[in-house]
Amino acid sequence: MKLLRLAPENTKFGFMRFRRVSYPLSATLSIISVILFLFVGMNFGIDFAGGTQVDMRAKSGEAHIADIRAKAESLGLGPVEVQQIGSESDVLLKLNVQPGGEAGQQTAVAKLRQAFSGDYEFRSVDAVGPTVSAELVQSGTLGVVVAIIAVLTYLWFRFEWQFAVGAIIGTMHDLLLTVGFFCVTQLEFNQTSIAAILTIVGYSLNETVVVLDRIREVMRKYKRLSTAEIVDMSVNAVLPRTIMTATTVFLALLALFFLGGHVIRSFSAAMIWGIFVATYSSIFICSPMLIYMGVRADALDRSKEQDTGAASADAKVKA
């Protein structure tokens, strides 16, 4: 029985010839992501921005977005965001943080119930005050920073420093482009989005380690080849595995995006983006860094000899 292959065997595609395009492109996209984050910002959900979110369903027929918006704004609750979710009868209504703290939030919900309970069923009501949202922002930011530091520390000790530098640059590249993705699409950034960022970091790390491990093996085996030839050979060797992994994860996330509901839509959308970005960076950002840093097989041999010598010295001291 012939196994399914999404990439032909023994490919010899010259990936490294595109490094003169990939680096300027990625640098431009990274700068644009930072600018968008500073001047446009992300669409923070009530987890981080605070406010009230009401999920309603029309008791009969479809939900009329314009009528709901006009009626809600007439209640004196400030700006109201209304969007359709799922079927034509489902609608999501969002309010900013109301004055008066918890009491103000409850008053706003009571006004909404009085105005819409006749025609709409209130499926869920979520209210987050400014104090709680500030704590969630702090906790979420701390969690992401600690996770990134842990990953970068692992990369630094896992590989020779030249490899680690490339892996760190690739990981930071993926994070910046993911932030830019949220700024461009204005998808709601909430706690599930934090989980998506951490998952993307893990996926990117996995792809990077696979590629760099193969490069290191090939570099020690074929010492007369140039670094560019070694990197191309290594990337082509792991290409079937990379494509198969990315495809299976993509199909699972595609089902989550269309069938999982609006609650995890931002998570699945960010992960779909993260798969492509992580795969791209492991091939076109992390790997070419070894060429620019002039990594050669003899440098790896010297590093291995130093480690062996240090281990022998320690053994003699203990003896």
* CATH at residue 122: 3.30.70.3400
Q: What is the distance between the alpha carbons of residues 305 and 171, in angstroms, rounded to a whole number? A: 29
Residues 87 and 28 in one domain: no
Cα separation, 8 vs 11, in Å, equals 6
User: Mean pLDDT: which of 132-141, 151-160, 244-253 is highest?
Assistant: 244-253
Give me 60's structure tokens.
């009969």
Same-domain pairing of 106 and 244: no
One domain for residues 72 and 21: no
Q: Are residues 275 and 172 in the same domain?
A: yes
Q: Is 209 found in the same domain as 150?
A: yes
Are the C-beta atoms of residues 135 and 48 closer than 8 Å to each other? no
Residue 293 has a pLDDT of 81
Q: What is the mean pLDDT of the chain?
A: 81
Helix 297-318 with 191-221: angle, nearest 10 deg: 90
Specify whether 75 is located in the same domain as 185: no
Residues 6+ apart with CB under 8 A from 106: 127
pLDDT at 308 over 50: no
Residue 91 has pLDDT above 70, yes or no: yes
Domain assignment of residue 138, given as a range: 15-43+133-304
Report residue 317's pLDDT band, with 50, 70 and 90 as the boundaries: very low
Final residue of a domain: which of 128, 162, 185? 128
Rounded distance between C-alpha atoms, residue 105 and residue 318, angstroms: 69
- Residue 161 maps to a domain: yes
Token pair 């993705």 is found at 181
Distance CA(169)–CA(271), nearest Å, equals 20
Q: What is the DSSP letter of 82?
A: E
